[in-house]
Each structure stands twice: as structure tokens, then as C-alpha cells.
Chain A
């Protein structure tokens, strides 16, 4: 063995002497205040940037699928959406919380800053299928999320119930503050479905706040990893 040129602790410092009496000193906490938090009555303070559920600015999202490519759990699927009879020009990410690891890599990678996150982390359902729909959503606008958070500061999922009509493909969000939000899902994937006419018009990259990227036009089709 090569010679040692680092400090090795002397044995006398490491070794402890057994004692009969010392364990009794643990009793000193018997009359101190416990450190527990009584959860339904007291609230915990969540850190400001706690990685929780996503928010999506539908106006800003350009459907580049960067978030879908970086996602380690492949929880993101591009979704073609129709709101109020109008087809969105670009697909938006749909996030499956059954798989999401809350790494927020998708938020870091989003070139336009459309995808964000809030501190909310509580989402509990029963085993029923209609309740499990909650785990699969296209995130809503950050302002709306914040509004709901101000009303109900309990870090719960902002949507109370999601209904998905299998025939008409209509999704209804019953938000917790009573609002109802409806849209239709036309198809999945990066390529536009037949229902949504392909629009080869130039993408609205001007909306991008951050640095413009040449890659975000087209060309990620070949590297799509979902569907």
C-alpha cells in the first residue's frame, strides 16, 4: 500500500465508551414541544420554486415538441386541439402525470417559455376510471392557475374533474373555482391529423421572447419520440 499523506483520525477520537447511565439522558426531551406539524390544521410552507404541476400559455406554445423530446419519462404527447370551433395552428403538449417525474426539464428546454410550473403538488384520486382522467391534461394558462391558487391555497391540482367524451373527443375541465373549460382533441402526434388542415404558413416565431432558433421551424418530425 502506498504511503498515506492525508489525515487519519486517531482511534481514541472514534471509539466510544459504553455507558449504563447515558441512555437515560434521552429522557430530557420528554417535556419539550414536539416538532410535528398537525397537517389538517397547520400548513406546511412549500418552497417558492417547488417543482409541481405544469402551466402552459397556449398562445406562446409553438408546438416544437422540444419538451416531448427531452422528457425522460415520455410523459408528453403532442395534441391537436380545437377550441370553440377553431383549430389551434400548432400542437400543444399533453402531460401524463402517471409517468411524469416532475423533473421540469421540459420547462427548461421550452424555447418560448410557454411551459412553466407552479408549486401545486397534491393530486389524489380514487381508482375509478373517470377520476383517473385527471392525470392526463393539457396544462392551462399560468394566470388562471395562479388565480385558483389564491382562492384555494392548499397546493391541490387546479382542476376538480376532467371529462373526456370518447365519441366527440370533447374534453371538459371543471376548474376548482367553478369555471368550465371545453376543447376538442383532434389527434395526437407531431403531424397534423386529417381533421386539422395542415397549415404550412410560417410559424409565429415572433412571439418567442427568447433567442430565436433556426431548428424550431420544422425538422423535428424525424426525431419525434412519442406515438
Chain B
């Protein structure tokens, strides 16, 4: 019963996502021309002004280390946390003193 409901709700979520991703109702794919300016204005800005504002020729690194550098700092923290967590959980068990 529970499992059937879970599958049913997965199907509903999947259908809703398909609808949101269909160009008729929702997100369009392969944007070009007018649509590029309308939906990807931020990307357009990065491409046009990235070189003069940041100075790097690689737009992805311009974005990841300058425009959105704070997110990269956060990602580095995620990695650090994951390592600290893994090391903390894989440490040897504590021993009783009176053994």
C-alpha cells in the first residue's frame, strides 16, 4: 500500500516535471535569437563583460572565481566538511579505561 502510493506519487512528480520541461508550457531548450536575450540575459552579460571586468579569458573560471566566488568558497567548505566528517566517523572506537 505504502509502496504503491510512493510509486504513484513518483509518477505524478515525473509527469509534472515533464510538463514543466515541455516547450509549450514551460522551459524552452536550444534558445537563440530573441529568446537568448530574454531568458539568458545574465549569461549574456558574463560573456560580453567577463574579459574586461575580470581579466580571464575563460568565462567559466571568471564566473566561478569572481562573480560567484562566494559559492566556490562554500563548495570548498562542503568538501572540507565531508572530509572532516568522514575522518571523524572512521576513527577508531574509544576504549573503556578499566579494561
Partners in one complex: no
Enumerate chain B interface residues (CB-CB to A < 8 A). Answer: none
Enumerate chain A interface residues (CB-CB to B < 8 A). Answer: none
